[in-house]
Amino acid sequence: MFYSSPIGTRRLSISTLGYALLSLLARKPRSGYDLAQYMKEPVGYFWYARQSHIYGELTHLEAQGLITHQVIEQQNRPDKKLYTITEAGRVAVRQWVTEPVEVKPDRNELALKAYAIWLAEPEKAIQLFRTQADLHASKLADYERILAQLERQHGSLWRVDEPLYGDYVTLHLGIEYERMYASWCGWMAEQLERRNLPLE
């Protein structure tokens, strides 16, 4: 999705991926490779982008004056571009971050399968939801480990105007989501097991 953002007298066309990249660059300058890695983790926990799209978006952002780059020479390796957010880029992110979010229906394949689960072989259906419960429980454990590490390093006092606060609050969202999903998948498996018992 592209947003039209007014900056001064001109309007900018910035995609959600563009805002994700600007948000990363607002923390510190990064290379395209670094941005691609951060889009996998931690941003990839809640927003996905292909690496090829990232480089195209960087070109688009630079053409609008939202970022700049400098070429860094490297010995025995190709030169790299180091991207930096401009003041116009910071203004654009600052405006975007508090705009209302359009609520859209989720495309949730597992929920769609649950809607049609009455057509499935019971044993296969039970295995599907047991496997999904395990996957979400594993991701939940990962998120809780990362949060505990952050809290050990940072303590319990978090300032809302520092970059790590974004990590802290999105981890809490991920934990609640994975906990709910693992619980629901386990409940689904139990429901299917109960209804698959032979009649006495």
What mean pLDDT, rounded, does the chain reach? 88
Range of the domain at 173: 109-195
pLDDT at position 148 over 50: yes
The model's confidence at residue 158, banded by pLDDT at 50, 70 and 90, is confident
Beta pairing class for 30-31 and 67-72:
unpaired
The model's confidence at residue 119, banded by pLDDT at 50, 70 and 90, is very high
Residue 41 belongs to some domain of the structure: yes
pLDDT at position 200 over 80: no
Q: 4, 12 in Cβ contact below 8 A?
A: yes
Count of the separate structural domains present in the chain: 2
The Cα 36–Cα 33 span in angstroms is 5
Residue 103 belongs to some domain of the structure: no
Residue 134 belongs to some domain of the structure: yes
Nearest to 26 by CA among 74, 55, 1, 61: 61
- Of 68, 96, 124, the residue that ends a domain is 96
Let me know whether 38 and 114 are in one domain: no
pLDDT of residue 9: 45
The model's confidence at residue 8, banded by pLDDT at 50, 70 and 90, is low
Q: Under DSSP, is residue 106 helix (H, G, I), strand (E, B) or coil?
A: coil
pLDDT average, residue stretch 138-163: 89
- Of 96, 126, 144, the residue that ends a domain is 96
pLDDT of residue 4: 57
- Of 96, 119, 140, the residue that ends a domain is 96
The Cα 150–Cα 61 span in angstroms is 31
pLDDT at position 111 over 90: yes
Residue 104 belongs to some domain of the structure: no
Q: Which of 106-115, 123-132, 150-159 has the lowest mean pLDDT?
A: 150-159
The Cα 182–Cα 139 span in angstroms is 9
- Spell out the residues 6+ positions from residue 145 whose beta carbon is closer than 8 angstroms to its own: none
Share of the chain above pLDDT 90, in %: 61
Q: Is the bond preceding 42 in cis, omega lying within 30 degrees of 0?
A: yes
pLDDT tens, position by position, 57-91 = 999 999 999 999 999 988 888 888 999 999 999 99
